[in-house]
Amino acid sequence: MADARTLSVSATSPLARYRIMSANCGLRASPLQLGIMSLGEKWQGMLGSVSKEQAFELLDAFVEAGGNVVDTANLARTARSGLIIATKYTGNYKESALGKKEAILYGGNSRRSLHVSVRDSLAKLQTEWIDILYVHWWDYTTSIKEMMDSLHVLVEQGKVLYLGASDVPAWVVSAANQYAIDHGKTPFCIYQGRWSVMFRDMERDILPMCRQFGLALAPWGAIGSGRLMTKRQLEERLASGETIRARGQQAKDKQSDLEIKYSEVLAAVAAEHGIESVTAIALAWLLARAPNVFPVVGGRKVSHLQDNIQALKIKLTKEQIARIDAVQAFEIGFPHNMIGTDPSLDVIYDPKQSMIASDDIDHLPGPKPFGLA
């Protein structure tokens, strides 16, 4: 009988090559997480429709390929509750059922909001614990002390194993983790936020913060929210009667000029790797930017999942990364544009931009990302 080491090496799917989540979290996680916000039919106007049968087919394919991290929120649509590992609190998940006035105590970062959210999540999941509980944005009214003390109680009770922060300002996460470290509480071990080739704001302060505190990264919107595709793919999609996902003023039948430019460059890089998938290269770009990156991917079809898994076989060169980055200039903002950036993070930043960069100094390089050639 093969032992665990043999099984690990001979995994047929790269999704079954597990990675330790972060310096502060020993979970062995698949390198892609499945986000289930797009599963079901309740929000089909915004996210598209996925029947119960299609949802089960996608979840089965994810698990059979080796995926073991499923991400949702307490206000997400219901799928197979037994597969949900990461969930969230803060969002007012009772407002639609009770009305705004009656549901006033069900949202925010307070101790009560946390208590009822976790209570209801455990009941819905039919489980005794939650593997990762995210604080799902910052409400600007609850103190960091109250929030971290309350979260730590849940860890001590065994109802929650690890803590994460989602869509929370870097200064809040930094202050919260330092408070936890100083007072023997449980710190955050993973950060989830919007990060993609088109939206790079996280690179200003959140990525350096994650490195400082040993946090993993879980980017959402990683593949452009389904809007990155070639002209041929868009035409085929529209011809089949499908539209593309749209929010706000976005069109359902055409891409923006910026989306087209990124899609063209991603398609060119994909061709260099012998594939057609634009989304695979968008994911590979993330995996080449930093270590401990576990993108949250959605999709409504098994073919979408198979496209995404291709990213795990790709290693981008710095030249290819530079071509993708050149599509749109990224403004890193003050004070980084004055004092420079960390020269050891040369995959993210130009080392020449650092105030302390010098031909006379050799800087210790940061850890190499999995997706970098």
Please state the domain extents for the chain.
19-325
Tell me the pTM: 0.88
Instruction: Find the range with the poorest average confidence among 32-41, 216-225, 362-371.
Output: 32-41
Confidence of residue 105 (pLDDT cuts 50, 70, 90): low
Short-list 66, 61, 76, 55, CA closest to 32: 66
Options 3.30.830.10, 3.30.1540.20, 3.90.1300.10, 3.20.20.100; CATH for 19-325 is 3.20.20.100
For residue 255, report the phi and psi dihedrals to the nearest 5 degrees.
-95, 160
- State how far the Cα of 11 lies from the Cα of 34, in Å rounded to an integer: 19
Helical ranges in the chain per DSSP H: 4-9, 44-47, 52-64, 95-98, 111-125, 144-157, 170-182, 202-213, 231-239, 257-272, 278-287, 302-309, 318-325, 336-339
pLDDT for residue 7: 37
Condensed to tens digits (0 to 9), the pLDDT of residues 169-190 reads 999 999 999 999 999 999 999 9
